[in-house]
Structure 1
């Protein structure tokens, strides 16, 4: 039976974390496949594990994988591989995850995170047990990189070339280098940033809905409480067992969602979607969503995310000439 894990997105550069003894030593994490395009832009190839975007990395002599997740508020480290990190500081609040919030997590300060010459300082990292995801996906998972890191970049997620391009932006969202992309931007869509969540307005069968965009959602999700006019075009196929960051499992109805539009020019073909209760997601994300658009969204749209401008930009897939 298929399983669902929720995150995604990744990077290739070096991150410096304090070691487990809290002294002044910095230990780098290396994402070794990055290609530096200029002083502010890096391009990173990724592999898809099921529908998760994953990069290989090395931290404290551990070689493994990081998932890049626009739906995660912070960087998350897997306690399985960093057992001395977790006892630093227990978090007072829960860590957000897409199926439910995660309790029993710990917090670690990331002293320095660097993308070649680009550096971010004093970033928080949550530390949790992610062994169930490793087992499900059959990968060695070191952690997840989320919004707290990605927000300072314009992020091009390209499922056509299986690569992510990160380019540094100023506080207004302007890229620090011109002519970053060879491809032409053909469309755009405004979004609202609710806490760390990308929220867009759209319609399903002309019924107004509010979607969250999450690059780590392996399947789209639609709230079973949404208006019946929208649910009319959710065509169920089978039941799935889904598991999230917090190890909890739920059974959901899976099918295809039709007639999704985000604007007059941004619309989608049928997308694999699960019907579920979004109460815990809304509580974790601090907003009221009717659905989540994940892998299926990015599979149909080569998408650039600019958090500062609160805008999505789209680049066409090449025409199929076969």
Structure 2
């Protein structure tokens, strides 16, 4: 990253992977401490993916922030399988199919300064296809099992994520977190690790998953034609899923999406696809997925424990 932030956060993982007295560091190398329970991490956008800079086990590089991922994922290209693993040849599910040859690593403890997370699982998967397509080195993916104990403010205006530790009820441990004012909120349902939103396309009720790792919104091509009338196709696009498999989809823009009478969206880049495999993998019944385009239009705070989204207005920039 090119941002000049001089405060660093050191995260320590005490893992039973090496000698007992060895504690390899993981460091968000550009993070800023706000208070004892809150940190801000700048990110860069790489092809509609939110990417933060991390140092883990003496390797420094990029991690993708992905609420659609259930676990912390390490790229087997950079983290060699020379250490002990809890489980071998595991199978995981991605949006476009199953991912084979997954190994699972157990991390005893991860701490962000005074913020502790116990017993984290990290899946070890070959992510070389993402590196090839995005033309960047990717160490891994930060998913739900890391993020769930925080309130997460994803701010596309300032290109930063604020992580603030919450108690068991989702209440912030510190009340002095945001300088901005929350102007609206909406409830969601948590299906396993998937955020499920009730929404409207014009006056038609739909269910959307919310996923920071979705480069484009996705709409189920099996929906009624009355709903698909609000999708305006423009071109075919090759979409590569978590398994590395490429699928041809129709890309265009989706109009008339709103969460309620006050939270609505302009036209959003969307792909028309079959969501059967995703719904089966995640045990959901979604009509679509809202991703980067959602966060580009709404400065959003996610609170998993309260199952609530909060929204902060973009500032009005005078010419």
The TM-score, its normalising length taken from structure 1, stands at 0.93
Higher relative strand content = 2
Change (3 A) 1:223 1:34: same
Residue 68 of structure 1 pairs with residue 38 of structure 2: no
1:309 aligns with 306
Segments of 4+ in structure 1 off by > 6 A? none
Size of the alignment, in residue pairs? 312
Q: Show the 5 A alignment for 1:212-231.
A: 212-231=209-228
What is the CA-CA distance between 1:137 and the residue it aligns to?
A: 1.0
Q: Contact 1:29–1:57 at 8 Å: present in 2 too?
A: yes
Residue 144 of structure 1 pairs with residue 141 of structure 2: yes
Q: Contact 1:12–1:57 at 8 Å: present in 2 too?
A: no
Q: Which has the higher contact order (CA 8 A, sep 6+)?
A: 1
2:105 aligns with 108
Q: Contact 2:89–2:100 at 8 Å: present in 1 too?
A: no
What is the CA-CA distance between 1:265 and the residue it aligns to?
A: 1.1
Change (3 A) 1:12 1:245: farther
The TM-score, its normalising length taken from structure 2, stands at 0.94
Q: Contact 1:86–1:128 at 8 Å: present in 2 too?
A: no
2:47 aligns with 50
Match of 2:315 among 308, 315, 318: 318
Structure 1 window deviating more from structure 2 (84-93 vs 230-239): it is 84-93
RMSD: 1.7
Q: Distance in 1 between matches of 2:10 and 2:268?
A: 33
**3-state SS, counterpart of residue 283 of structure 1:** helix
Match of 1:265 among 248, 258, 262: 262
**3-state SS, counterpart of residue 120 of structure 2:** strand
1:120 aligns with 117
Q: Distance in 1 between matches of 2:131 and 2:83?
A: 18
**3-state SS, counterpart of residue 251 of structure 2:** strand
5+ long unaligned stretches in structure 2? 1-7
Q: Distance in 2 between matches of 1:152 and 1:58?
A: 21
What is the CA-CA distance between 1:286 and the residue it aligns to?
A: 1.3
Q: Distance in 2 between matches of 1:278 and 1:254?
A: 15
**3-state SS, counterpart of residue 96 of structure 1:** strand
5+ long unaligned stretches in structure 1? 1-10
Q: Contact 2:104–2:123 at 8 Å: present in 1 too?
A: yes
